[in-house]
Amino acid sequence: MRLSQYFIPTLKENPTEAQIVSHRLMLRAGMIRQASAGIYSWLPLGYRVLKKIEQVVREEQDRAGCQEMLMPTIQSADLWRESGRYDDYGPEMLRIRDRHDRDMLFGPTNEEQITQIVRDNIKSYKDMPKLLYHIQWKFRDEVRPRFGVMRGREFLMKDAYSFDLDSAGARRSYNRFFVCYMRTFERLGLKAVPVRADTGPIGGNLSHEFLILADTGESEIGCHADFIDMDLRGADLDYDNEDDMQRTVDHVTSLYAAVDEQRDEETEKSLGDKLKVQRGIEVGHIFSFGTKYTAAMGAVVNGPDGESTELECGSYGIGVSRLVAGIIEASHDENGIIWPESVAPFKVGLINLKANDEDCTSACDDLYKRLTKAGVEVLYDDREGRAGVKFADMDLIGLPWQLIIGPRGLKSGVVELKNRQSSERQEISIDEAFAQLAG
């Protein structure tokens, strides 16, 4: 993409409405614009990141054996009357009436919808278990939408649902998602802490929230100091063996045994001077809630003995749009965003230092074509203008690599490759730069 043609309305000044760094940087880098309170348009640069994150989440759901589908945003109120949640949900639910005076709603979540689908289409134990997910926009009329897409009213969520014959099966499904979440957040370059959580209005018995540590987080957790430096990547994160998975989950949760959303005094005391109080951002949440919805909505299958059995369920959310902001909170410096390569909108920013110099421009154009052809995503700053402005813009946007080409270097056959994260710079030949980026 040529920057001269790209729709990327960057801002030099800090927007006054933004209180946290991710919101400021998303506005300044031209990623989002507010449509109304808590509702945002995703401009091209922001939308690329959103889709990248969505894709990592999707790949890891698929790997865990979860099947993607798509349910609607608009749901019927009658469905929610079946579970009893239409009245319980309160003013966070956006209620709508259609032209026939039927009550509808913009879904804040999809337990009822998926339970109806399973109830109407699965009749036998032989079709169990089922793990299903979709990635779809939600609406919650939050009291205080704030911090940009971090706490929006309209937001993108991955929500998965598990259906099992019995509680042992439900536990296996829960473990599977637990492992899946560890894998997902690791691929996104994040350290996510699984914290025992209240099951809240969804109800049920087993639940963990996944929090990434950041000073601007809305939740406070007391944490074992060793955890902060602990590398989880040693954990065995595959799905080959159900027993191994239970071990992995037990192991990981034992590391966080002292971590508690409630910050209860007893655990804090037991930690002594190992207690570290941190703030965190909730990026995922998993629940096992038994037969709460299937019982209310009559979702049963015929068991092996011919008896009908209520299905055991869980639901598993990831805040896809919140993650865009969460990753920025976790990865930025005073000059701008630092994207992990897995979700970067482009891999490299190619900077032409002298767009009015014919040789320099033709070298840049060539390399841009070669890289693009090799499948490397390049944002090419082909604008005329001061180098300082270009460097500042590229740092703000935060692509993992910057390839800087100027007439002086070209004369001696070198270009400069800068790593945004480490600020390390290498002077190398065009071919070496190509090989490094395309390799």
Site for ligand ATP contains 152 (CB under 6 A): yes
From residue 106 to residue 125, what is the string marking binding to ligand ATP with x (rule CB under 6 A)?
Answer: ---x----------------
Q: Contact 128/161 with Cβ under 8 angstroms?
A: no
How far, in Å, CA of 395 to CA of 68, rounded? 36
Q: Describe the crossing of helices 44-63 and 320-330 by its angle, rounded to 10 degrees.
A: 110
How far, in Å, CA of 30 to CA of 44, rounded? 8
Pick between residue 158 and residue 285 the one whose CB is nearest to Mg ion.
Answer: 285
With CA atoms as reference, report the closest residue to 254 among 278, 226, 218, 285. Answer: 226
Pick between residue 25 and residue 394 the one whose CB is nearest to ligand ATP.
Answer: 25
Closest approach of Mg ion to the CB of residue 199, in Å: 10
Total number of residues binding Mg ion (CB under 5 A)?
1
Look up residue 324 and give its two tokens: 């865009």
**Upper half-sphere CA count for residue 128 (Cβ side, 13 Å):** 26
How far, in Å, CA of 117 to CA of 114, rounded? 5
How far, in Å, CA of 437 to CA of 354, rounded? 22
- State the Cα angle at 435 between 431 and 439, rounded to 5°: 170
Q: Which stretch binds ligand ATP (CB under 6 A): 27-35, 72-80, 224-232, 319-327?
A: 319-327
Site for Mg ion contains 52 (CB under 5 A): no
Pick from ligand ATP, Mg ion, none: which does 142 bind, CB < 5 to 8 A by kind?
A: ligand ATP
Closest approach of Mg ion to the CB of residue 198, in Å: 9
Q: Which stretch binds ligand ATP (CB under 6 A): 19-27, 96-104, 150-158, 383-391?
A: 150-158
**Residue 161 bridge partners (DSSP):** 132, 315
Pick between residue 130 and residue 158 the one whose CB is nearest to ligand ATP.
Answer: 158
Site for Mg ion contains 285 (CB under 5 A): yes
From residue 207 to residue 246, what is the string marking binding to ligand ATP with x (rule CB under 6 A)?
Answer: ----------------------------------------
Select the residue interacting with ligand ATP from 30, 46, 217, 317 (CB under 6 A): 317
How far, in Å, CA of 317 to CA of 257, rounded? 22
Phi/psi of residue 2, nearest 5 degrees: -85, 125
With CA atoms as reference, report the closest residue to 60 among 112, 108, 131. Answer: 131
Determine whether 191 is exposed, middle or buried from the number of CB atoms within 10 Å of its CB (0-12, 13-18, 19+).
middle
Which H or E run includes 96? Answer: strand 94-97
Question: Which residues in the 128-147 window bind ligand ATP by CB under 6 A?
Answer: 140, 142
Pick from Mg ion, ligand ATP, none: which does 194 bind, CB < 5 to 8 A by kind?
A: none
Select the residue interacting with ligand ATP from 52, 130, 151, 390 (CB under 6 A): 151
Q: Which stretch binds ligand ATP (CB under 6 A): 46-54, 304-312, 316-324, 343-351?
A: 316-324
Phi/psi of residue 18, nearest 5 degrees: -95, 120
Pick from Mg ion, ligand ATP, none: which does 148 bind, CB < 5 to 8 A by kind?
A: none
With CA atoms as reference, report the closest residue to 277 among 255, 252, 258. Answer: 258
| Residue linked to tokens 């992995």 | 248
Site for ligand ATP contains 53 (CB under 6 A): no
Question: Which residues in the 185-204 window bind ligand ATP by CB under 6 A?
Answer: none
Closest approach of ligand ATP to the CB of residue 99, in Å: 29
Question: Which residues in the 261-290 window bind ligand ATP by CB under 6 A?
Answer: 282-285
Closest approach of Mg ion to the CB of residue 282, in Å: 6
Closest approach of ligand ATP to the CB of residue 152, in Å: 4
Pick from Mg ion, ligand ATP, none: which does 155 bind, CB < 5 to 8 A by kind?
A: ligand ATP
User: Alpha carbon of 236 to those of 31, 169, 170, 246: distances in Å?
Assistant: 36, 21, 21, 11
Site for Mg ion contains 138 (CB under 5 A): no
Select the residue interacting with ligand ATP from 52, 171, 322, 390 (CB under 6 A): 322
**Residue 332 bridge partners (DSSP):** 337
Q: Describe the crossing of helices 44-63 and 167-187 by its angle, rounded to 10 degrees.
A: 140
Closest approach of ligand ATP to the CB of residue 350, in Å: 34
By the criterion CB under 5 A, which residues form the site for Mg ion? 285
